[in-house]
């Protein structure tokens, strides 16, 4: 007999919601029981070790659990049109119940599904609801703060209101907040939207929160790499004076970053565009540590080139530079250790990870491919690849660009703001 699902158990359909908020009442009818034909079994012993099967009686099924008013509410909610759903959710908020009530009702899922239900013209309505919830019921908003803030930030960017993102960030800055996947995508978005102060605040807050959050090593490294831009850029703007360098040395340990003096000097020189020599192809070949560090220095040269030649802001240029470097390191680990040869299969595999079904890093995927196209132009400009390799790499990027847009489907408008960072359209 199948185990009965409790009302507060996860629904067996796999939706992730509680049974009472999902399929309760919609279960398919069970088949009628059929009586198996009896079969006479000869006994070989007068002293049976177990009772006869005919004496076995199955335990009675427990009585069905009574429905409550919120089961009825949920049934009504699922049956009405999207506009009526918004009104029902607003009515619930107006009742000002404790956060535990909204959590039990799966309120976060209901709100996140709202924009999909209202599509294709419901963004303004859903954004207005998010804003109302943030203003009047921050405790309820905090139940899904990262997901709500991310949705609102994309809506602001799509409508050209990037500066309004600042209003949704305070709920994420508390040191006790636990960062999750949507937080990283939000940081990427704020960086790519060129919101410098908001980017700095959000990034350093995430680093503090990482002390009590179970983050993977790559996530911590990612935060540190995004954070050092601000510290290094300030030193470069100050002319790399002794005082500025001393202050930098005090700040780096606070974000768990402790490069050697030799590495720090080299990184600042390449970021500032004053390195004593240009990197050659031979400096980047092999699996030893110098080759890996030289590849990182090359990415810093690339970031500088993006600001000078492509006129990207320093923040956007460094963010895109970082995305490209992560991609290069991933591909280098599987390659013959010539990181300048672009392999379509390896790039496709890396982008597929960012654009996968369970990923929320889509903006990073789009920005990485745009950055990779710039990177191929950069390599040709500094004579690290020939014209033939340059044309082949551009063709690979063009092919993957078309595939990416097909994969993104209806979400393409979310990332259209990145098109302004293209140097000429992808074909």
> For residue 18, what are the β-bridge partners?
10
pLDDT at position 63: 61
pLDDT at position 411: 86
CA angle centred on 318, ends 312 and 323, rounded to 5°: 115
Of 9-18, 117-126, 193-202, 217-226, least confident by mean pLDDT is: 9-18
End-to-end CA distance of the chain: 59
Average pLDDT over residues 66-88: 84
Neighbours of 259 (CB within 10 A): 14
Instruction: Give percent of the chain with pLDDT exceeding 90.
Output: 61
pLDDT tens per residue across span 381-404: 999 999 999 999 999 999 999 999
Q: Is the pLDDT of residue 83 over 80?
A: yes
Across 52-56, 58-62, 150-154, 283-287, the highest mean pLDDT is recorded for 150-154
Q: Is the pLDDT of residue 245 over 70?
A: yes
Q: Which two tokens stand for residue 44?
A: 């070989």
Peptide bond into 386 cis (omega under 30): no
47 pLDDT band, cuts 50/70/90, is very low
Q: Return phi, psi of residue 136, to 5°.
A: -100, -25
379 pLDDT band, cuts 50/70/90, is very high
pLDDT at position 36: 37
In this predicted model, which residue has the larger pLDDT, 69 or 9? 69
> Under DSSP, is residue 18 helix (H, G, I), strand (E, B) or coil?
strand
Q: What is the secondary structure of 31-74 as a DSSP string?
A: PPP-PPPP-----S-SS-SS--GGG--PPPPPPPPPP-HHHHHH
Q: Return phi, psi of residue 18, to 5°.
A: -70, 150
Is 120 within 8 Å of 85 (Cβ atoms)? no
Calpha distance 32→57 (Å, rounded)? 18
pLDDT at position 30: 40
In this predicted model, which residue has the larger pLDDT, 4 or 425? 425
In this predicted model, which residue has the larger pLDDT, 265 or 41? 265
Q: Is the pLDDT of residue 265 over 50?
A: yes
Dihedral, 388, 393, 398, 400 alpha carbons, nearest 10: 150
Question: What angle, rounded to 10 degrees, do the helices at 123-136 and 107-118 form?
Answer: 150
Of 1-10, 217-226, 408-417, least confident by mean pLDDT is: 1-10
Calpha distance 153→150 (Å, rounded)? 5
Average pLDDT over residues 368-389: 96
CA atoms within 13 A on the CB side of 177: 23
Of 219, 235, 188, nearest to 370 by C-alpha is 188
Question: What angle, rounded to 10 degrees, do the helices at 217-237 and 314-334 form?
Answer: 140
pLDDT at position 348: 94
In this predicted model, which residue has the larger pLDDT, 128 or 287? 128
Of 64, 61, 92, 99, nearest to 76 by C-alpha is 92
Q: Please tell me the total number of residues recorded for the chain in this structure.
A: 427
Q: Which helix (H) or strand (E) holds 368?
A: helix 362-381
pLDDT at position 20: 56
Q: Is the pLDDT of residue 202 over 50?
A: yes
Of 318, 322, 118, nearest to 233 by C-alpha is 318
> For residue 10, what are the β-bridge partners?
18
Calpha distance 232→263 (Å, rounded)? 13
């Amino acid at each position: 007999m199948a185990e009965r699902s409790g009302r507060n158990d996860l629904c067996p359909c796999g939706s992730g919601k509680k049974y009472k908020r999902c399929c309760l009442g919609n279960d398919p009818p069970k088949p009628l029981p059929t009586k198996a034909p009896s079969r006479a079994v000869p006994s070989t012993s007068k002293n049976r070790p177990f009772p006869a099967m005919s004496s076995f009686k199955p335990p009675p099924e427990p009585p069905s659990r009574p429905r409550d008013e919120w089961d009825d509410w949920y049934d009504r909610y699922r049956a009405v049109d999207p506009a009526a759903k918004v009104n029902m959710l607003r009515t619930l908020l107006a009742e000002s119940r404790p956060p535990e009530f909204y959590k039990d009702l799966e309120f976060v899922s209901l709100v996140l599904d709202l924009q999909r239900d209202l599509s294709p013209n419901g963004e303004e309505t859903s954004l207005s609801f998010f804003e109302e919830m943030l203003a009047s019921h921050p405790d309820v908003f905090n139940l899904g703060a990262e997901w709500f803030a991310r949705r609102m930030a994309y809506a602001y960017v799509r409508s050209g209101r990037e500066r309004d993102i600042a209003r949704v960030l305070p709920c994420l800055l508390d040191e006790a907040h636990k960062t999750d996947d949507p937080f990283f995508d939000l940081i990427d978005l704020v960086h790519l939207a060129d919101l410098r102060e908001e980017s700095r605040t959000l990034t350093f807050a995430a680093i503090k929160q990482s002390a009590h959050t179970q983050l993977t090593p790559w996530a911590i490294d990612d935060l540190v790499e995004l954070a050092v831009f601000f510290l290094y850029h300030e030193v470069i703007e100050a002319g790399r004076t002794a005082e500025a360098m001393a202050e930098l040395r005090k700040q780096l340990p606070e974000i768990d970053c402790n490069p050697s003096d030799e590495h720090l000097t080299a990184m600042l020189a390449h970021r500032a565009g004053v390195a004593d020599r240009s990197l050659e192809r031979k400096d980047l070949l092999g699996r030893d540590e110098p080759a890996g560090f030289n590849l990182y220095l090359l990415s810093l040269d690339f970031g500088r080139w993006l600001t000078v030649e492509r006129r990207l802001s320093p923040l956007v240029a460094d963010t895109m530079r970082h995305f490209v470097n992560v991609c290069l390191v991933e591909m280098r680990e599987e390659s013959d250790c010539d990181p300048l040869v672009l392999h379509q299969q390896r790039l496709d595999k890396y982008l597929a990870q960012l654009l996968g079904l369970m990923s929320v890093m889509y903006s990073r995927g789009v920005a990485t491919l745009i950055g990779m196209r710039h990177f191929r132009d950069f390599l040709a400009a500094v004579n690290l690849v020939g014209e033939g390799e340059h044309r082949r790499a551009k063709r690979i990027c063009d092919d993957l660009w078309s595939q990416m847009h097909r994969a993104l489907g209806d979400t393409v408008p979310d990332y259209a703001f990145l098109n302004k960072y293209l140097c000429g359209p992808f074909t």
